Amino acid sequence: MRRTSFRAVTVATATATLIAAGITAASAGTAARTDVPDASRYAPGLVAAMERDLGLSVADAVDRLRTDEALSATSHTLVKSLEKQYAGSWVEGDELYVAVTDKSAAAQVRAAGATAVTVDRSLAALDGIAARAFEAAPEADVASAYVDVESNTVVLEVAVGAKAAATKAVRAAGVPADAVSVVEVAEMPRTFINVIGGNAYYIGSARCSVGFSATGGFVTAGHCGVRGATTSQPSGTFQVSSFPGNDYAYVNTGTDDTPIGAVNNYSGGTVNVAGSTAAAVGATVCRSGSTTGWHCGTIQALNASVTYAEGTVSGLIRTNVCAEPGDSGGSLLAGTQAQGMTSGGSGNCRSGGTTYFQPVNEALSAAGVSLVTTGGGGGTPGGCSGEESSFSGSLSSGGQAAEPGTSGFTSGSGTITGCLDGPTGTDFDLYLQKVSGGAWTTVARAITTSPDERVTYTGTSGTYRWVVVSYSGSGSYTGGWSTP
C-alpha cells in the first residue's frame, strides 16, 4: 500500500522525559557525594546514561538537562508566536538558534534572548516539500526524509544506487532542485522488536500470534506459514513447519529482534515463562493472542485429535478456552509453564468455545531449539541465590521498579550486598537508595552493559531500597540482597 501521509521531523532542542525518582548519582560502594548538582529530579537511568553515552560528568549532565529545559521553553513560546514565519530551531551548546523568514520575526527572536537566523523557507513550506519528495521517490528505495532546519532544506535518504532515480523522480514532481538533497545510505532502516508470546506477527496480509520465544526466534502454529515463508513485525523465516498431522512451526528472526521469555497478558504487562512442564487434565490454563488478548479456562483432554478442512491433527491439548482467527499460534500457559500454541477450534470469545493447542515441547524438539525463559543473563556467577532476601519483577524497555517495594528495608551499619539477574540480551541496571533528609538518595549503583549487576556498599544504619532500571530491553528479572 502506498504511503499517503508524512510528517517531517523538526530539528529542535531535545527534551528528556523526566521522572521524579529521588536519585542523586554516586559511585558504587561509596557514600553519596555532596559536591555535585542535585540529580534527584531525574530518573535513575537518565543521568547515568548521559554519563555513559555522552561522556558527561554528573555535573555536566545535570547542567545540560537544565539548559535544554530552559531553551526548550523559549523555543516553545516562539513557535506559538511566530506562526507562519517560523522555520525551525536548534541548540548549539547553551545557545538557541531560531530560523525565521522575515526581519520582524527576527526581532522577536532576539527579544526572547535567542539567536535569529533569516532563511527563505518556513517550516511549513519545508514540511510540504519533504512530503512531496517522499511520495515522489520510488517507495522501495526511500529510507527516510526529514527537514534539516540548520540548512533550511530537506534531506531525502535512499538506498545505495538509487540516488539518480530518486533525484529524477523528485524533479519530475516539481520539487525545487535547491530545496532537496538526495543522499545514499549504506543501511536501510528496520524495526527493533522484542519477541514476546501472544504478540502479533504477519505473513503477507495474514496475521498470527507468537507462541513462545525460542533460540533465535519463536515457535507458533504450522498452519500460519509453510517452510520458507517470510514474516514481518518481526521479520523472520519459517524454517520448520508441519501441518496437518501436527500444527507447529519455528520462525527464525533477525539479529535485531530479541526473544523474551515472557507472554503478553494484554493488561499492560507480561507473564514470565519459567519452563515447559506439561500440566494435567483439569489444570487451569490461560491463552494469549493478538485478536482477543488474554483468556483462561481448563484443560479438558490431552493427546486429542481434530479434523480441520485441511486434514487431521493429532496429539493436541483440548481446552474450554475461547479463541478467534488471528489468535492462531499464540501462547497457552499453566502458571509460568509453557503448554502449547493455539491451533484451532470452534466458538468465539463472546459465546465461548473449544480450542485445541499444539504442545510446545514437540515443536521445540522438531526445530532443535530451546525455550527462552526468564532471567539468566549469565553475568552474575551463581545468579542471586546466595543472598538472604530476594525480589523479582518484570520491566518494559526504559522502565524502572523499586524493590522490595517503595517502603524499602532497614539495615544496620556495615556492608550491604545486592545482585540483579536480568533477561538475556538486555541492559538492566541496579541502584541502591537510602532515605536522607526525607528523600531517596542513590548511594551505590552498578550500570554495566550486562543484564546482570552486583552492588557492594558500606554505610550507616537506615532505610534502603533497590531500584531496578531497564536501560534497554524488557523482560523479567530476579534479584537478592543481604544486610549486615
Catalytic member of 68, 127, 247, 257: 247
Catalytic residue among 328, 394, 474, 476: 328
Cell of 474: 524488557
Choice among 75, 127, 223, 288 that is catalytic: 223
- Pairing type for strands 95-100 and 115-118 reads parallel
* 350 contact partners, CB below 8 Å, separation of at least 6: none
| 223 is known as an active-site residue | yes
User: Phi, psi (5° rounding) for residue 58?
Assistant: -60, -45
What is the C-alpha to C-alpha distance for residues 18 and 72, in angstroms, rounded to an integer?
14
Q: Report yes or no: 262 and 394 within 8 Å, Cβ to Cβ.
A: yes
The count of other CB atoms within 10 Å of the CB of residue 239 is 16
- The reply to whether 328 belongs to the active site is yes
CB atoms within 10 A of CB 463: 14
Distances (CA, A) of 256 to 164, 217, 253, 259, 473: 30, 11, 8, 10, 11
Give the residue numbers annotated as catalytic, written as ranges: 223, 247, 328
